[in-house]
Amino acid sequence: MKEIIHTDSAPKAIGPYSQAVKAQGVVFVSGQIPIDPATGLIVEGIEAQARQCFSNVSAILKEAGSDLSKAVKITVYLKTLSDFETVNRIYAEQFSGDFPARCAVGGLEIPKGALIELDVIAES
> Over the chain, what is the mean pLDDT?
97
Are 70 and 61 within 8 A, CB to CB? yes
- Which has the higher per-residue pLDDT, 96 or 32? 32
Domains of the chain: 2-123 (3.30.1330.40)
Q: What single-letter DSSP state applies at residue 99?
A: P
**pLDDT bracket for residue 97 (50, 70, 90):** confident
pLDDT tens for 58-93 read 999 999 999 999 999 999 999 999 999 999 999 999
The pLDDT of 44-48, averaged and rounded, is 98
pLDDT of the residue at 36: 98
List the beta strands (DSSP E) in the chain: 2-5, 20-23, 26-32, 35-36, 41-42, 71-78, 101-105, 116-123
